Each structure stands twice: as structure tokens, then as C-alpha cells.
Chains A and B, each alone.
Chain A
Amino acid sequence: MRARVFVTLKPSVFDPQGKVIADALHSLGYDGVADVRQGKYFELELSAADAATARTLAAEVADKVLANPVIESYRIEVD
């Protein structure tokens, strides 16, 4: 099974990289881009029998390692 984990900074946390990318896009004339938030994307290949087990495993890995709960939150997709 495959899980996709999207780790992003919480909305209340300033994202210096996202800010610079937004500024760069504005300098290229993309005024329609109001804001940018940069995050991390992980693809996990899992030995799991079903989607629920895969999700549980991915969530444990995300909680423990992939995301820092002080500043980041995550979203998981399983297929």
C-alpha cells in the first residue's frame, strides 16, 4: 500500500520560504498568487494488509518523525 503524507506549517506559523517564493512570483508578474505556503511531501511504501492499517502506520510515522507537532500538521492519503 502507498501512503502520501503532506506536512505543512500550521497556519499560525510564519513560513519564510513560502514568503520568498510568493515575492518571487509577484516579481514575475503573478499578482494573482495571493500567498504561498511551502511544505513537505512524503510517499511511503507500506507493507500493510488494508488501508486502515496503512493509515495507522503512516500516522504513527508522521507523529513520531515526519512532522514536528509544535509547528507542523499533516494530512494522509492512502491508496
Chain B
Amino acid sequence: MKFGIVVFPGSNCDEDALHAARDLFGQEADYLWHKDTDLKGADVLILPGGFAHGDYLRTGAMARFSPIMAPVRAFAERGGPVLGICNGFQILLESGLLPGAMLRNRSLKYRCEHVHVRVEQNDTPFSSAASVGQVLRIPIGHGEGNYFAPSDMLERIETNRQVILRYTDAAGRLDDHSNPNGSVNAIAAICNEQRNVVGMMPHPERACEALLGGVDGRVIFESILRAVERPALQVAGRSR
């Protein structure tokens, strides 16, 4: 399978994502520049972390106008798996590919640390190798990760089981101290209604090697490999 890593001016986790996909999981992987208009045959897309276009107006606000986003949207609409990590998540929100928006962290501080997140759903291409209830220890690094959705939208997200990860303590219990940014319902990751587009604030690509302090992020990549191998979720890879 082939990973496409979308690079915006200001992306800074693109190399980490490529390294994880290619060097750690042995998959083909290539960068897709934001001005490109074709996805180079990618089977899965990652929108990496960083500060796309500088994030001067709002995080992710300008990136949705990049030419690459038209084919990204079309890929997502025909069921292709798309993962937005951190700034990539913010871009997917601003693009309307995921519901909701990000606010400044309630502490107003940039938080850069390991956090615990509990897997809520494993029927997405990015969580299928995990068990529901499994607690992952993965780093975050963001100033605007305070996920917000208006109450009716939030209700729909919860009813549709679109929350994929929640911030918890190490034992998987919800408590306010374990919520690093004030996200509503402790939401750390969500998917779209079709479940093929996932956005997450934690950085799995930074948690794939023991040398970097933990390997809990591997399960996200293992899920991708499993999803693309499994016919039921192989919509995008085969449809082109």
C-alpha cells in the first residue's frame, strides 16, 4: 500500500509521518505538495502536524484552500482513508470534512507532553487494530486542541459513535485533570459519519519507537495496514 503525506508550507511533522510509514512499517510513502492536484496513487492520506500557512488567522483556516484539498476531498468522499494529525485534524475541521472546531486550550498554554487516551471505537481504518477501552500513551503538542461542537452537533457525534479517542487517566478513567486542553467530552479524536476520515490531536507517528519514549502509536499504523488489507474497508485503494 502507499501512503500520501500532504505537505503544506509550515507542516513540520511530515517527515515523522513518512518515516513511520516507510522506515518502521515498510510501506511505500510519498509527499504530496499542497499545490499538487493528484494524489500519486496513494491508498491512504495523512495530513500531518505543523502550522500550515502559518495558522495566522485560525489553525487550518487557509490550508483548506490549497489545490491539493480538492482531490483530498474527492478521495475522502469515495471512502478513501484520511488521517489528520494535530494541525491535520484542524485542517479537516476547517475544511468541513470533520464536524466541529478547535478553540485555544483552556489553559491558554501550548501543551507538549505525553497524555493517555482511551480507544472508544475500533471500526475505523485508524483504530481497527486496537481494542475498545485500550489506553494509549501518546504525545501531544498543541496550543489549540480544545475541541468544540455546538450541542446539537455534539449529540449527533456521540449518537453516531464518532468519538474515537478520549483523554483519560492511565487507567482509562475520565477525569478533568487528564483533559489537557478542555475539549468537550474529553474528545481527542473523531471520525466522520462514513468513518473513513479521522482526526486526532495526539501524535501517533511520534510514538512508534521505544527510543522516543513509547510505542503506543504503532497501533494506529497497524490499523491502517489491516484496513487496507481487509476487503470490507478497501474501498479507496481498489476503486481507482
Chain A positions within 8 Å of B, measured between CB atoms, are 9, 12-17, 20, 65-66, 68, 70-71
B58 touches A (CB below 8 Å): yes
Q: B61 and A12: CB pair below 8 A? A: no
When A13-B148, A16-B146, A16-B182 are in contact, do A68 and B103 touch as well, CB less than 8 Å?
no
A14 touches B100 (CB 8 A): no
Chain B residues with CB under 8 A of A20: 108
Name B residues whose Cβ lies closer than 8 Å to a Cβ of A: 57-58, 61-62, 93-94, 99-101, 103-108, 146, 148-151, 153, 182
| Selected A-B contacts with CB under 8 Å, 27 pairs | A13-B103, A13-B148, A14-B106, A14-B148, A15-B103, A16-B103, A16-B105, A16-B106, A16-B107, A17-B104, A17-B108, A20-B108, A65-B61, A66-B57, A68-B58, A68-B61, A68-B94, A68-B101, A70-B99, A70-B100, A70-B101, A70-B148, A70-B149, A70-B150, A70-B153, A71-B103, A71-B148
Taking CB atoms, residues of chain B closer than 8 Å to A17 are 104, 108
Q: For residue B102, which residue of chain A has the nearest CB? A: A71
Contact B104 A16 (CB under 8 A): yes
Q: How far apart are the CA atoms of A15 and B106 in the complex, in Å?
A: 8
The closest CB in chain B to the CB of A66 belongs to B57
